[in-house]
Structure formats: C-alpha cells, structure tokens
Amino acid sequence: MKHKPKYCLFYDNHTMKAIPDVGENFDVETFTDRVRDCGVDYLVFHARCNQGLAYYNTRIGTRHPSLKYDLFGKLSEACQRKGIALGAYFNAGISSEEGLQHREWTTLYFDGRSLREPRFTPHVRTMCYNSEYRDHLIGMVKEVLCKYPVAGLMIDCLINYPCVCPICVREMKKRNIDWSDLSAVTRFAEISAVRLAKDIAEEARKINPDLLISNNYPGYEELSGINTYFDVVSLPASDDGYEFMPVMAHYVRTLGDYPVLNMTGRFYEWGDFGGLRPEEAIKSELLYGLANGMRPNIGSHFHPRGDLEEPVLERIRKIYTGLQAKEEWYDGAKPVTEIAIVYPKKIANIRGDRQLKSAVRMLSELKQQFDVVTLASDWSKYKVLIFPDDIVFDEETAKRVEKHVNEGKAIISTGFSGLDPEKKHFALEQEWGIKFLGEDPFDPAYFAVGENYNKGLPEMPLSLYSNGIEVEVSGKTKTEAYLIKPYHNRDWDGEYAFYYNPPDKVTEKPALTINGQVAHFSHRIFSGYYDKASVELRTVFSNVLNRLFPRPLIKTGKLPSFSRVFVTEQPGRRMVHLLSYLPEMRGNTQMIEEPVELNNITISLRQDDKEFKNIYLAPEKERLAYTVEDGYVHITVPESKGYSLLVIEE
C-alpha cells in the first residue's frame, strides 16, 4: 500500500570526499527515536549524493571512502522497525566523483569544456543523460530498491544542462534539432531529462508498484504521470524570498490529484550547516502550505560524522507537535477557489516572473481565493479569469476564454494581455470591445478614474508606473478611466534632462474599459505594482473586481494587507485559515521572527446554500459568535496570534 506523506523530513547529505570520518558518531537508534518523536512519518535520506558518492554498500557505484559501514542500510532497518517510511535520495544531474572517473559521462559544452564555471560550485561536473551514465544511475536505483525496505524515491537535479557530446549530437541530427543553437540544445536536454525520469520510474515500479516518486526537475507538468507526488522547495531566507512559494502553492495543486509537499529549511540557505531559523519563521511557512493543501516538509543538513543536532530536532518536534494538534482539520482538506490567474507559460517563467508574483500578492492582499493555472488545467470552475500584463492568446487560450465569456463569467486583462501572438490585434476583439492601436508613447503615464471605479482613490492624477498600449473603444464598450499625458516624456534633448514630468491634460485615450463582463487596463498594472507597491493600483483593480464579482467566497473587516485568509474544505465543513505574519527585510534577507497579534476580527464566509450549525476555533473547539445575513455567515474572532483555524460545520 502506497504511503501518504503527512509530516516529512528531508536530510541533505552532500559529503565531500575529503571528509575523513563519515558516520563515525552516528547512533542510528537515537537518531530514529528522535525523528519518530517529531511525528515524522516520511524521511528522505541520501543513498547517493551530488558528489557521486554512496552511503550504502554498493557494487555499482562508489561508497564514500571514509564510511566504514552501510549507513543507509542501518537507517532503513531502524526506520522500518519504528514505522517511519524512508525515501532514498539520488542526485541525477551532478556527480563530481563519477564525472572525474568517467569524463565521457559528463556534459560537453560548445567550447569543448566538460567543467562548468565557476569551479567553486557543486555543479562543476554535470552528467549527460544519454551516455552510459544513465544505465549506471538506473542500476544504482534498482540496487537500493532491491536491497532495502524503501517506500519512496527522490531524484534531484535532472536539470536541462546543454550537451553537445557525440551521442547527443547524433540524436539531435536524427530529430532535425539544430545542435549549434544553444536554446535548441537546452530543449533537447530537457527531453533527455524527462526520458530518464520516466525510465527510472518504470524500472522502480517493477520492483515496488507502490513506490512514492518525486523528481525535482524538470517542470511539474512534464513530470505529471511520472511523479506520484510533488515537492515545492522554497527557502525564503535565500534568493527565493517570500514571493516564490505562494506562486507555486497556488499553481502546483492545479495539475492533478497529487500530494504536494511544502519543503522549507531549518537553515538560511543550502549548504548552511550552522543555521537554525526562528521557530515562528518555519512554522509560518508550513502553516501557509497547510492552508493551501500542502503537506509540511522540513529540510535539514546531516552532519557527515553523524553528530546528533539536538536543537534542530527539538525545534522540528515543537513545530510538528503544534501542527499535529490540528491534523483532524488538515487531513485531506482541499482549497476552495473561484478565481484563476492564467499564466500559460513554462515553469522557468512561472518560477521567477515578477508580473505573476505581483498578481499573486495583490489577490492575496485582497483575501481572494484563487489558483494559478496554465493550459494543463481545466478552467471551467472559475468565475473570474485574470490575465496579468503579457499573456498573449494562442488558439487554445482564445477558445477557452471565448467559452468562459459566453457563459457570462468575468475577465480582467492588463497591458498586452489578450493580444494575438504577433501582437497585432486583440484575439477576441468583439468580446473585449476595443481595438489595438499600438504601444502607448506616454512616459510616464498617468490616469484619471471615473466615478464608477474611484472608491478609495484620491481625486488627482495617478501614476501607472508602467508602460502599456493605446486602444480605441467600439460598440457598447465603456471607458471608465482615461490616460493623462505628461508635459514631456522622459528624454534628453542635448542640454536638459526631462526628468520632472508632471501630468498635463486628460486625454480621450482609455486607461480602463469595460465591455459587459470583460475589463481591460491599458497598462501593465501588475508590473507597476511590483515595482512601486502602489496601493492606488491595487485599489482600482479591487474596485473593478468587486464590480464584476460582487459576492466572493470571503469578505473581511479591517484586516491588515499583510494578513492572509484561505478556505479549505472537508466533507461537511469548511475551514478558514487566518495568518498574520509580516516578513521584514533585514539587510539582504527577509525574516519572520514573531507573529503579529490581531484583535476583534470579522470574517464573512459565503454560505453557498449550506446551513452552518457549529462554528469554533481549532483545536480548542472554542465556540465563536456569529450572525447570518445576506447569504454570509459573519464570524467574530476576538484574538489571533499569528494563526487561527476557524471551523464552520454544517
């Protein structure tokens, strides 16, 4: 029977060959006792690391030279006795030792190098997935699965490293792929990586059909049907910050009924052995995941010597014990969503796109319940589709959007979104009710909002902080905001810099148009919000959304913008998750050190023809005061310190 991971622990264990005492202090019984005390039911541990060294008795690979016994074997036996499911980690894309022994297994770059720059990186030797290395790796995976009671498999770093070795070039020629074009070679490398992931999974399932499998790379969509669960790896204290994981949380869950693990780290960055982040920071990230249907996973570093790091395990135990007290309301809970941010692009864009991050942040600040979707997902359940800034419409996108509009549902698009792929006209010109005239020349651009959508806005010209397009309305389309031209565009005339460019006169150029249930902003307002955090841009967007979608699932009182509210459901009840944590920028690093206390909060949940009879805080089951009016149940929460879980039962 396939294990269902709930509380997970991942140990990084990339150990340099020069370490002289691997495993000498490792007390497997004490270690697994402490892991069990933490309530961990799924532990992932290295069978083979990115140095190309194994931690078990292998006949195929190279065991770490200073390891004197079968460390992974002892761990697997102890985990089995103590009811801890064990996953075996293999790094697939990187191998210093094997790349050194078999240079013909490494990737070859356009200039003939097999070593990557800079040299001071684990990625110095990357492996060719079409060389004999692939059989070697598959052999090691099968070896571990046959020797040990392993419940899962994690394959890491199947990254699309470009390779022009003779083997790859020959296959690219057969496929009519231009082996001299870096982008084409990189795409072929991804094909090779997906093929290897598929082959590993097929061989592994022959040994254990119930095996958990996760490949960390390539993209999630490419791995659908290969993976049995997904890991979202995010370290907010490193380059990811606190903008990355929310995007992935709202996206990955749309790809099918896969368990999604939310992996954060006890450390500040990978390779950081001496970092132990604050309890509230780690807890807040795991709570965010649970509120979005993700299961907790904490990454740690295994000291090569096997030293037991008691403070780390105690922190994990304390966090997991607190979360497990609410497990009754987390188990199998699914997010309830009704809005979709549509972003039909590759995972490489999804991971880092600032417009997408901005849209996710804005909707989160507005307490809306939403997903991030691509063409891989069904859009039919959503009542509003949002297209942020640069989503051009191919044939499939246009077809889906046309169906959505014909069903009377709402659309909000911004900037260049909605144009055809050549950016010559709107793909659904009749539905949008506007014609594309070209890029708008105003720099900077200002706008004035009419009385229908100016609630909460100052009566003055407002900056857009972005560029956009010029449009012309047609038919019954209404212009609800107009562009204001500056006195001068930003420029240099040979003598003076036109730096100070105040607004001049309101033009007839539309800045916001409404045609039935389709709203379009002429400029890239999500880019503007990302760059300047203009509250006015969020306000006008909210005004439009409220007019098109006046009865959202959740309404809130005067909650601060940094708080987050999410709705999940189980049979017979819904849960409202209220989070109040505020990441603070401290130098180069975002940090959460303590929760923010909120008092006298009002949460209004739409009834949706349900008759709610029992409303309380979990896990205490403390009853909450509420009233019912206009199809909403209005709940009062006297106090919330960082996180509150409201349960509304039928």
pLDDT-based confidence at residue 351 (cuts at 50, 70, 90): confident
Task: Provide long-range contacts, Cβ within 8 A and 24+ apart, for 75-78.
Answer: 75/28, 75/31, 75/32, 75/45, 76/148, 76/149, 76/150, 77/148, 77/149, 78/28, 78/29, 78/31, 78/32
Q: Domain limits at 439? A: 337-548
Answer yes or no: is 332 within a domain.
Answer: no
Same domain, yes or no: 222 and 282: yes
Please compute the mean of the pLDDT values over residues 354-362 and round it to a whole number.
Answer: 96
Rounded CA separation 335/337 (Å): 6
Answer yes or no: is 1 within a domain.
Answer: no
Q: pLDDT tens-digit profile of 252-265? A: 999 999 999 999 99
Same domain, yes or no: 123 and 141: yes
Same domain, yes or no: 310 and 360: no
Answer yes or no: is 331 within a domain.
Answer: no
Q: Give me the CATH number covering residue 645.
A: 2.60.40.1180
Domain count, the chain: 3
* Residue 361, pLDDT above cutoff 80: yes
Q: Tell me the Cα Rg of the chain.
A: 27
Q: What is the pLDDT of residue 2?
A: 86
- DSSP for 455-524 reads TT--SS-EE--S-BEEEEE-TT-EEEEEEEEESS-SEE-SS-EE----EEEEEEEEEEEEETTEEEESB-
Please compute the mean of the pLDDT values over residues 238-246 and round it to a whole number.
Answer: 87
Answer yes or no: is 94 within a domain.
Answer: yes
Same domain, yes or no: 522 and 599: no
pLDDT-based confidence at residue 350 (cuts at 50, 70, 90): confident
Q: Please return the burial class of 475, using the count of CB atoms within 10 Å of its CB with bins 0-12, 13-18 and 19+.
A: exposed
Same domain, yes or no: 581 and 629: yes
Please compute the mean of the pLDDT values over residues 472-492 and round it to a whole number.
Answer: 95
Answer yes or no: is 208 within a domain.
Answer: yes
Tokens 């003076």 -> residue: 496
Domain stop point among 324, 347, 365:
324
Same domain, yes or no: 249 and 360: no
Same domain, yes or no: 503 and 587: no
DSSP category for residue 254:
G
Answer yes or no: is 3 within a domain.
Answer: no
Q: What is the pLDDT of residue 443?
A: 95
Q: Give me the CATH number covering residue 418.
A: 3.40.50.880
Rounded CA separation 498/491 (Å): 5
Same domain, yes or no: 189 and 318: yes
Q: Are strands 478-486 and 503-515 parallel, antiparallel or unpaired?
A: antiparallel
Same domain, yes or no: 430 and 283: no
Rounded CA separation 495/443 (Å): 19
Domain stop point among 324, 345, 367:
324
pLDDT-based confidence at residue 20 (cuts at 50, 70, 90): very high
Domain stop point among 294, 324, 354:
324
Give the mean pLDDT of the chain.
96
pLDDT-based confidence at residue 122 (cuts at 50, 70, 90): confident
Q: pLDDT tens-digit profile of 265-277? A: 999 998 899 999 9
Q: What is the pLDDT of residue 349?
A: 78
* Residue 348, pLDDT above cutoff 80: no
Answer whether 95's CB lies under 8 Å from 52's CB: yes
Answer yes or no: is 297 within a domain.
Answer: yes
pLDDT-based confidence at residue 12 (cuts at 50, 70, 90): very high
Q: pLDDT tens-digit profile of 90-121? A: 999 999 999 999 999 999 999 888 888 888 77
Q: Give me the CATH number covering residue 219.
A: 3.20.20.80
Same domain, yes or no: 246 and 157: yes
What b/e sequence results for 51-81 when a residue is b if at least 16 CB atoms lie within 10 Å of its CB, and e otherwise?
Answer: bbbbbbebebbbbbebbeebbbbbbbbbbbe
Answer yes or no: is 329 within a domain.
Answer: no
Same domain, yes or no: 369 and 294: no
Same domain, yes or no: 227 and 132: yes
